[in-house]
Chain A
């Protein structure tokens, strides 16, 4: 009897965990719009007020949201839009056009996309007819015909705004901002960008039509607030079906953030960057280690996740090289030290390596030159060494000038971690003038 009961609770536990994972993964991976963006109150108010003025009063506006990658630009905007669309008179009234600089790589494509998203008359199915000039004239006419009181306001949302500035003549930006400046149909142009110097990219005539309203999302979080964010990000919402489980989970999360080692890990992460996306990666890696056998996030999980995040990529690659390739890298390091960063070619590296073999080494036997060449080419393939010039056919392979893309300390450190490294190789690496 008791056995069956325990199994039942176990099953339930599994389901609860699955549910919890589902919710949290949605939050971390899909960038779910949260209840309220943290630490962005004034920006939120500013943007909401601006968009509401367009939507309700028919005022034309333009604004740029500027912030580093992962600082929550898209999240803030979608939160504001959701809030705005909940209002009844706005919901029916507003049209939205979403453009992305990665997708709409030139103005022609962007214009087609606009007409498609606005469902104008020259759209049949999802095909757009007409040339670029016709499309533009048509669109501008449609926008011009409208006025403040009668026509519906349009939100133009330009993701990766800086890429639009690279289009020829910046025609699209010019026309959109021109419409927003003159008394035509009410539009709001919202640009999202991660470049702080984005205004320098604009042409003078485009710049003069832009309202110079910028919202900066430069994170001013202190570490205390950061911990709070971690706590809220990890805790389950109040409408979770199993209230007892969610309570336990939230308690364990609170306990977790008070743990000393966890605080250490988060402090390190915080010192590197404050953006939410790298935090999400960390939390996701920790979350993925939760199973039925350990149904809550442990401090060790977070430490392990941090270890995965913070690994040095190049050191990992160096770890997997063969002894011969490692010797070549050490020879290059010596050449760099002797000739102070001058480029080298294969012949010089081979000479240095041969000197080492003849004088010092007992553990490594003599290799033929083509074998060494093969190892050298493998290093080139891994992009640990790079040719100075791109032309490859003109010069013999041995005499092509190369440079090493590794740091002195990186080499020494990975040499320490190298499994079963012969002692004479280590000594050779340590003494520059051997």
Chain B
């Protein structure tokens, strides 16, 4: 039973319509509504709303503004690459498109405040105007006086205006060093499992009973809830996988009441979905296609990361292998690995690992070009002349971002490199050359 919204300033009819649109956010909506007050009252100059991705922040504010017909403008800060665009959108939203002619090109906040003052004195409103800034975390990257300016906009323009900030990031990370006008901070908590279930069952399929859909959602939450609580993502996954869930019903093998069989049918499928669709390895179109072609096993389709292997020339492969070995092996072990007659090395001394962790944990180390070439000559069996093409292959590996150059101080004289490929990748390359790379890696000895 939804909570009834109550407010003196608005008719019950409108509030009823509003309450219908908002699911599971009644307490937040009523707090916000109470804070906004009646339309002609003053509201606090700035309100900061934070909460996780898809917790209904924009939906609730937008619904309140639309249903109660308050003068407002919503601007997404992602779209506004400069402050001038932001001001233009605000003025256009509040006063119509003709008003933007008053703003000069690439306007500063002073121009905005001046134009706003002028416009608000021309057509005074008895209602509070609202400026809603979505994804407000991007405001921090713009000019330094923008955020403090918006926080005290009411005082600067001397009009009944309120700025609402919506963000995923907490208010502590917004505060400038010299302080600012503190907003009222409201929190939209995450949906719990029950609420997620309730919202997801709202869009049930018309040709099946709602109970069936609700049991499907239950199964899906069982698989995905520990990884993902994002409503949008879950809804997307539900829409993609429901047809698969219904397949046994359509074939007439299972009745609707036989939940256990349905669960058995869908569960491995959902687990596969987590590794493919959830990671965007396989696009949703591909996923749907694949579901229709039943003979193919789900996941047999190659994902995006399966295309990661590249065709390289013979010596480039060896160069890359040499770079990998140079990056992940300590230099003092080179004698042991790559020299044929390395004399006597104390085995205990060699095996003593004083590094607390392996290099595969800490990441690649930089190495000089000489060491790369030395290892290269020792892993390549036949004789290779150090021609220009070998060196140009090194620099082309850098442009392919398989190697990175460290420290740009010197291009020619003893440059240093790092290897930027993963172990799987290098193993795949070594396999094509039938070269056993693991035998040469210090970490796996």
- Which residues of B sit under 8 angstroms from A284, Cβ to Cβ? 35, 44, 184
Docked-complex contact B168 and A281, CB < 8 angstroms:
no
Interchain CB contact under 8 A, A313 and B6: no
A17 to B37, CA, bound (A): 12
**Contact (Cβ within 8 A) B114 A371:** no
Interface residues on A, range: 35 or more
- Structural contact, A30 and B154, CB atoms closer than 8 A: yes
Residues of A within 8 A of B357 (CB): 348
* Alpha-carbon separation in the docked complex, A102 to B147 (Å): 10
Whether A277 pairs with B149 at a CB distance below 8 angstroms is: no
In the complex, whether B56 has a CB less than 8 A from a CB of chain A is no
Stretch at the interface among B59-67, B173-181, B338-346, B376-384: B173-181
Q: How far is the CA of A363 from the CA of B404 in the complex (A)?
A: 41
Asked if B37 and A281 make an inter-chain contact with CB atoms under 8 angstroms apart, the answer reads no
For the complex, give the distance between the alpha carbons of A394 and B178 in Å. Answer: 34
User: Contact partner of B184 among A26, A103, A285, CB < 8 A?
Assistant: A285
Chain B interface size band reads 35 or more
Q: Mark B357-399, 1 if CB is under 8 A from A, else 0.
A: 1001111100000000000000000000000000000000000
Q: How far is the CA of A277 from the CA of B181 in the complex (A)?
A: 9
CB distance from A402 to the nearest CB of B (A): 12
Alpha-carbon gap, A152 to B41, bound state (A): 39
Q: Are A289 and B34 in contact (CB under 8 A)?
A: yes
B25 interface residue, CB < 8 Å from A? no
Bitwise, A319-331 to B at CB < 8 A (1) or not (0) is 1111110000000
Judge whether B182 is part of the interface by a CB distance below 8 angstroms. yes
Does B362 contact A30, Cβ atoms closer than 8 Å? no
- Asked if A320 meets B279 with Cβ closer than 8 Å, knowing A22-B41, A103-B110, the reply is no
Complexed CA–CA distance, A374 and B275 (Å): 11
Give Cα distance in the complex from A70 to B190, angstroms. Answer: 32
Given A126-B114, A324-B227; A25-B37 close (CB under 8 Å): yes
Measured in the bound complex, the distance between the Cα atoms of B261 and A360 in whole Å is 31
Contact of A320 among B8, B55, B420 (CB under 8 A): B55
Contact call B44/A281, Cβ cutoff below 8 A: yes
Map CB proximity to B onto A373-416 as digits: 1 under 8 Å, 0 otherwise: 01100000111000000000011101100000000000000000
The 8 Å CB contact of B225, one of A288, A319, A322, is A322
Residues of B within 8 A of A321 (CB): 229
Q: Given A284-B35, A382-B169, A396-B422, check contact A69 B229 (CB 8 Å).
A: no
Identity of the chain A residue whose Cβ is nearest the Cβ of B190 in the assembled complex? A320
Contact with A along B9-41 (1 / 0, CB 8 A): 100000000000000000000010011011011
Residues of B within 8 A of A381 (CB): 168
Is the Cβ of A18 less than 8 Å from the Cβ of B38?
Answer: yes
Q: Within the assembled complex, what's the spacing in Å between the Cα atoms of A324 and B274?
A: 14
Nearest neighbor of A347 in chain B, beta-carbon distance: B361
The answer to whether B229 touches A102, judged by C-beta atoms less than 8 angstroms apart, is no
B185 with A313: CB separation less than 8 A: yes
Closest beta carbon of chain A to B178's beta carbon, Å: 7
Q: Is residue A292 contacting chain B, with contact meaning CB distance below 8 A?
A: yes
Identify which of B45-53, B241-249, B428-436 touches chain A: B45-53
B168 touches which of A194, A288, A382 (Cβ 8 Å): A382
Distance in Å: Cβ of A3 to nearest Cβ of chain B: 20
Q: In the complex, which residues of chain A have a beta carbon less than 8 angstroms from the beta carbon of B173?
A: 383
Whether A109 lies near B362 (C-beta < 8 A) is no
Q: Does A364 interact with chain B (Cβ within 8 Å)? A: yes
Residues from chain B with a CB closer than 8 A to the CB of A105 are 108-110, 145
Q: In the complex, what residues of A have CB within 8 A of residue B287's CB?
A: none
> Does B189 sit within 8 A of A, measured CB to CB?
yes
* Residues A313 and B420 in contact, CB atoms below 8 Å apart: no
Chain A residue, CB-CB nearest to B169: A383
Min distance, Cβ A374 to any Cβ of chain B, angstroms: 6
Decide yes or no whether A104 CB sits under 8 A from chain B: yes
Say yes or no: B50 contacts A322, CB within 8 Å.
no
Q: Does A430 contact B (CB under 8 A)?
A: no
Residue A216 interfacial (CB < 8 Å): no
Complex alpha-carbon distance, A101 and B148, angstroms? 11
Q: Which residue of B lies closest to A405 (CB)?
A: B173
One of B225, B278, B362 near A345 (C-beta < 8 A):
B362
Quick check: A319 and B178 within 8 Å, CB to CB? no
Given A25-B37, A25-B41, A69-B179, verify A419-B192 contact (CB < 8 Å).
yes
Q: Is the beta-carbon distance between A324 and B226 smaller than 8 angstroms? A: yes
Which chain A positions have C-beta within 8 A of B154?
29-30
Q: Which residues of B lie under 8 Å from residue A25 when comparing CB positions?
A: 37, 41-43
The verdict on B155 contacting chain A, using a C-beta distance below 8 Å, is yes
Q: Which residues of B contact A70 (CB under 8 A)?
A: 182
Contact call B169/A21, Cβ cutoff below 8 A: no
A291 close to B (CB within 8 Å): yes
Q: How far is the CA of A383 from the CA of B362 in the complex (A)?
A: 22
Does any Cβ of B come within 8 Å of A298's Cβ?
no
Known A21-B37, A313-B170; 17 more pairs at CB < 8 Å? A14-B8, A29-B45, A30-B42, A69-B179, A105-B109, A281-B182, A288-B37, A320-B51, A347-B360, A347-B361, A367-B227, A370-B275, A370-B305, A371-B275, A374-B278, A382-B168, A419-B192
A-B contact pairs, 28 of them (CB 8 A): A21-B37, A22-B42, A25-B37, A29-B154, A102-B148, A102-B152, A194-B179, A195-B178, A285-B35, A288-B34, A289-B34, A291-B6, A292-B8, A311-B185, A314-B170, A317-B50, A319-B189, A320-B51, A320-B52, A347-B361, A347-B362, A348-B362, A368-B275, A370-B305, A371-B275, A375-B227, A395-B363, A399-B362
**9 A-B pairs with the lowest CB-CB distances in the bound complex, closest first:** A399-B363, A320-B190, A313-B170, A288-B34, A29-B42, A323-B226, A103-B110, A320-B52, A102-B145
